[in-house]
Amino acid sequence: MILDVTPLGIPDVLLIRTRRFADARGFFAETYVHRDYVNAGICNNFVQDNQSYSVARGTLRGLHFQTPPFAQAKLVRVLRGRILDVVVDLRQSSLSYGQHISVELGAEEGEQIFVPVGFAHGFCTLEPDTEVSYKVDAVFSLANDRGLNAVDPELRIDWPIEASAAVRSEKDCALPAFRELPTVFQ
C-alpha cells in the first residue's frame, strides 16, 4: 500500500489517498493496512467499522462525537456517491478551537479523512444513494454519545444546502449550539 497523507489546516486532521490499481475491469485498492497507517503516524487501534446509507442528496448527518472514556478517532471514506465531510475542533486548549475543516470526499477518488479524538464530525450528501464507511477506535457508547448542531450559525459551516431543505434526524435537529457545549476535551 502506498499512502499519500496531506494535513488539512487544523493539526492532526489528515486527508489520505491510497493507491489504486486500475485495469479494464475497474480497480483494486488496499484501503487499510495497519502497518502503513502507523508508518504515516496514525497509530490508532480501530475496533469497529460503521456504514451509513443516505437515500437523498442533502442528507445532513452530525455533528457527532463521544465523550471520554469512549471518545473516538475516525477514518472516514465514501463507498458510493459524494459528501462534504466536516470536522469541528472541540479541543479547548487548541489554537483552532471552534474552527472547522470541510473537504469533499467521493467514491471515485477513494480518499479518506482521519478525524482524531476531540472533534465533532458530520457530513452532507452531495449525491443520492450515498454510502459512507468509517472505522472508529472506540466502540459506540450510548451514555457517551453527544453532538453539536450542524447548522449553528456561529460555526459558519458552508453546507451545500439550506438548513431548511436538509434531510436531518430529529436527534440531530435537537443537538445543542456550540456555545451551549460544556468543556469535553482539554
Known catalytic residue at 64: yes
Q: Say if CB 88 and CB 98 are below 8 A apart.
A: yes
| Catalytic residue chosen out of the listed positions 37, 100, 121, 134 | 134
| Catalytic residue chosen out of the listed positions 37, 64, 100, 121 | 64
Known catalytic residue at 37: no
Write the Ramachandran bin of 9: left for phi over 0, alpha for psi from -120 to 50, otherwise beta: left
Contacts of 40 (CB under 8 A, 6+ apart): 3, 5, 16
Catalytic site positions:
64, 134
